[in-house]
Amino acid sequence: MKQRTGNSTPLWVSMSASVVVPLTFGVLLSTFYPEWRWAHYPVHAMAEGLGSLSALVIAAVMVLMIHNQRLTARYYWAVTALVGMGVFDGLHAVTHAGNAFVWLHSMATFVGGVLFCGVWFSESWPNLQKKWVLLVAVLLLSFALGGWSILFESQLPAMIVEGKFTLLARALNILGGLAFILGSLFFIRQYLAEHKAEGLENQHAENIIFANHCMLFGVSGLLFELSVLWDAGWWWWHLLRMCAYLIVLVYFFRLLKEDYSLLKRQRSEILVEKERSELASKAKGQFLANMSHEIRTPMNAIIGMSQLALQTDLDGKQHHYVDKVNNAAKNLLALLNGILDVSKMDAGKIELELLPLRIRYLFDELHALMELDAVNRGIRFRTEIKPGMPPILLGDQLRLAQVLTNLCSNALKFTEQGGEVMVYAEVLEQLEERFKIYFSITDSGIGMDEAQQQKIFELFSQADASTTRKYGGTGLGLAITKQLIELMGGVLKVESKPGCGSTFFFTLEMEKTAEHHTGQERRRLDVVDAKRKLRGASILLVEDN
């Protein structure tokens, strides 16, 4: 609820003005201009129509404010009253002067006053659902009763005789006016209670606004007794009702303007923070790139020198120490590369390079790269491509190889001796010149439960805390792999059960490239194939003088 600073002086000044001024002018007009009449239907219809529209607009705004907790639940009664008044006043505006004309106005005053008086029961009826039921019921009954009054005007009790209002008409307006005044007293009490409890720093202006709103409607209901149809007093209390609506409309318009200004200011602050964040991210990326370069250069030297040292004559203890240094350096280098990749992806600096590639060649390279590690671990590593795979496709070979290598390394790491890791690919669907290629990496390792599967793709996250202690790793590999696959237009998924291994799989759309269209790229691939076939072959060199 909107809070404002202030004291009780504005309350008493405004309430005095809402009572003294309307009553004084009402009595003076009835005394000095008793015979004055102005029967102008268009002006009356416009005034009542605007009043009806104002009531319904205010009700709608209040519903939104209650929903957003800007107003408390007690204002449901005010919403209900405004809806009932809006319906009756709207029908009253389009009705000719007669019995139904006075009846509809009297019902608007009576129903509105009684429902506004209901705020006294708001604390003893906290169930909001029931309040919504009351609101809908009042809306439907108001339309039903108003429509019936217009269609069956002859069935209504007498409300006006020879230009003068009957006892029933005066009673409905006076009782409605008194009920409005009673509702106004509730808002006055509420304002004073909050003023006493919270001091001068947290005043609730809504209470002052609705106290004056109800008081003006209450006084206009009482002034009905001093008026006749179309006389000066009659037009005067119409003006009071318009002022009552105007007070609330201006107040809510001010609130909306303040909210808009606040939203605009917050949006500007968000844009400034976004710019700062982007600059910080850019600086971070530049820092990581520089640090990565500066650290990787000596790290590669450490790895290279330690590998050379391992090839020399070392005793068992020395070999163990140097091997530990070599492994630690490799792990640190992998961590640096992973952090750099994450930084590049966050900055959107990784772009795909679509070139002709051969899935079979990619799998052969992967097998050659992983086979030694698999043999050392006592794991069977194999690859399989289902028949029907196009010989040449367009794709980013470097990124696809990085994805498959990361997934295979991960599978080998979590598979025990005697297990198996298989890399599989097949064509799922052909869409004109594009193919949906399915890739999967299946292992017979330790597996994961559903909770572990939910977090393995997060940065610096592993299945559980014991994983890092037992198997090592940084928790970056799968996160980077997932982002790379998404960059290529796929989604990385996993199926796994504890003790039954895991299957990581994804699907990529790749474009077929005809062999006679590849040109230089085809010759490059032929050279690569030739090198692959000659790998591991012995060469006989014959030379003479």
Write phi, then psi, for 124 (nearest 5 degrees). -95, 0
Give the pLDDT confidence score for residue 3 in this predicted structure: 45
pLDDT reading at 483 higher than 50: yes
Domains 271-346 and 355-534 alike in fold:
no
Using pLDDT thresholds of 50, 70 and 90, give the confidence band for residue 423. very high
Contact yes or no for 477/410 (Cβ under 8 A): yes
Using pLDDT thresholds of 50, 70 and 90, give the confidence band for residue 538. low
Q: Is the dihedral of CA 270, 274, 275, 276 positive or negative?
A: positive
Which range, of 125-134, 215-224, 512-521, averages the lowest pLDDT?
Answer: 512-521
**Dist CA 55 CA 440 (whole Å):** 64
pLDDT reading at 31 higher than 90: no
Residue extents of the structural domains in the chain: 40-230, 271-346, 355-534
Which of the two residues, 23 and 358, has the higher pLDDT score? 358
Architecture in CATH of 271-346: Orthogonal Bundle (1.10)
Residue 98 token pair: 């007669």
Helix, strand, or coil (residue 503): strand
Q: What is the mean pLDDT of the chain?
A: 82
**From residue 284, how far is each of 97, 346, 483, 487 by CA, in Å?**
77, 10, 19, 22
Give the pLDDT confidence score for residue 332 in this predicted structure: 78
Give the pLDDT confidence score for residue 536 in this predicted structure: 58
Residue 81 token pair: 């009253």
Which range, of 121-130, 414-423, 490-499, 515-524, averages the lowest pLDDT?
Answer: 515-524
Q: Is the dihedral of CA 82, 88, 94, 96 positive or negative?
A: negative
Query: In whole angstroms, what separates CA 108 from the centre of its chain?
Result: 41
> pLDDT per residue over 286-312, tens digit each?
776 677 667 777 888 888 888 888 888
pTM of this prediction?
0.54
> pLDDT per residue over 398-407, tens digit each?
889 889 988 9
Instruction: List, in order, residues 6 or more apart from 118 with CB less than 8 Å away.
Output: 77, 80, 81, 183
Using pLDDT thresholds of 50, 70 and 90, give the confidence band for residue 324. confident
**From residue 110, how far is each of 86, 166, 315 by CA, in Å?**
13, 15, 105
User: Considering the domain 355-534 in this protein, what is its CATH number?
Assistant: 3.30.565.10
